[in-house]
Structure 1
Amino acid sequence: MDERAEGDAVVEGRDTRTSVRAWLRLLACTTLIENEIRSRLREQFDFTLPRFDLLAQLDKAEDGLVLGEASKLLMVSAGNVTAVVDKLLASGYITRQPSPTDRRAQIIRLTHAGRAAFRTMAEAHNGWVEELFAGLSDAEIAGLTDHLARLKRSAQSHIEPREPSRRRGRD
């Protein structure tokens, strides 16, 4: 006898509650870890996660980034990137210059001070993540990484392209 409550559904032979429970657990873990990283960045470096994320993208981009590229990489609106850029400019961590090929476009780059500050924060960040994952073995982390990659591919195959999410908070 099927004991599902009214409103429970089955998709391709699977009880949808299983997927929803997994999603809620994933969301809880993400939120827990992200909030802890935010707190530690604020407490130890007087820095925000959006600023750290932008410095991380710039650290990988030797020639800098056009503001629109940064917005896409961070999956936030151009207005959110502009607010973060303004803070980082004021701190001397980045520069902003017009593109030599398109005067309407602005290119942002790390300064030496910005790169040094980011690398110090990134080292601490990596340690925090290691600490938060300490309860898992290397094999469990590898398995989790594999499962999450498969989940990402599955989700991407069912998502229509659209504008970047505006969910992330401001600086």
Structure 2
Amino acid sequence: MTFDVETRLKTDSSEGLKLWLCLHACNNQVENYIREQLYLRYKTTLPRFDFMAQLAGHKSGIKMGELSARMMVSNGNITTIATQLEKEALIERIINTQDRRSALIRLTPKGVKQYNKMAKSYEQWLEEAFSLLSPTNMAKLQKSLVLLKKALSEKTK
């Protein structure tokens, strides 16, 4: 028997609650699958991959505070991951000559190579996970989620 967030549903639960818990359960399952694959294949974690993914689009580097905000985690979490990746020569810190308290971090050439390999695998794993749905159902689901995201963003402005 599988236990997840949907196990708290009752027969009289609202449709909104059912949908939310189903989305949450699916997200958890996909995320757990990706975490497992990253560890098995690359001996890394999803937060480290996400960290590198943020840096991949910014060749000149990103400030630690900006990275923290983008990943929605504390500066302490960012510092811990940065220290690990720096020890492995996957990232480098560039001291800001105008403000020595502030540093940019960016992927090293070794980090870019490692990230690109992981990113290709990551995309394949997602394709595998979602291949369980027909192309038609995937398109319908994506369209529905885009509509929901748009409606919610307008509602929360």
**Is it true that 1:52 corresponds to 2:49 in the alignment?**
yes
1:142 to 130, 139, 143: 139
**Is it true that 1:61 corresponds to 2:61 in the alignment?**
no
Q: Which amino acid aligns with 1:69?
A: E
Highest CA radius of gyration, 1 or 2?
1
Shift of 1:155: 3.0
1:99 to 96, 99, 109: 96
Shift of 1:159: 4.2
Q: Which has more helix, going by share of residues?
A: 2
Cα separation, 2, equivalents of 1:77 and 1:123: 28
1:28 to 12, 22, 25: 25
Cα separation, 2, equivalents of 1:106 and 1:149: 36
Shift of 1:77: 1.1
Cα separation, 1, equivalents of 2:95 and 2:13: 51
Q: Which amino acid aligns with 1:39?
A: E
**Is it true that 1:42 corresponds to 2:4 in the alignment?**
no
Shift of 1:158: 4.3
Q: Which runs of 5+ in 2 are unaligned?
A: 1-11
Q: Which amino acid aligns with 2:78?
A: V
Shift of 1:32: 0.3
Shift of 1:16: 7.4
1:153 to 146, 150, 154: 150
Q: Which amino acid aligns with 2:40?
A: E
* Bigger relative CO (Cα 8 Å, ≥ 6 apart): 1
3-state SS in 2 of match to 1:76: coil
Cα separation, 2, equivalents of 1:124 and 1:105: 33
> What is the TM-score with the length of structure 2 in the denominator?
0.85
Q: How many residues matched?
A: 146
3-state SS in 1 of match to 2:32: helix
Q: Which runs of 5+ in 1 are unaligned?
A: 1-14, 161-171
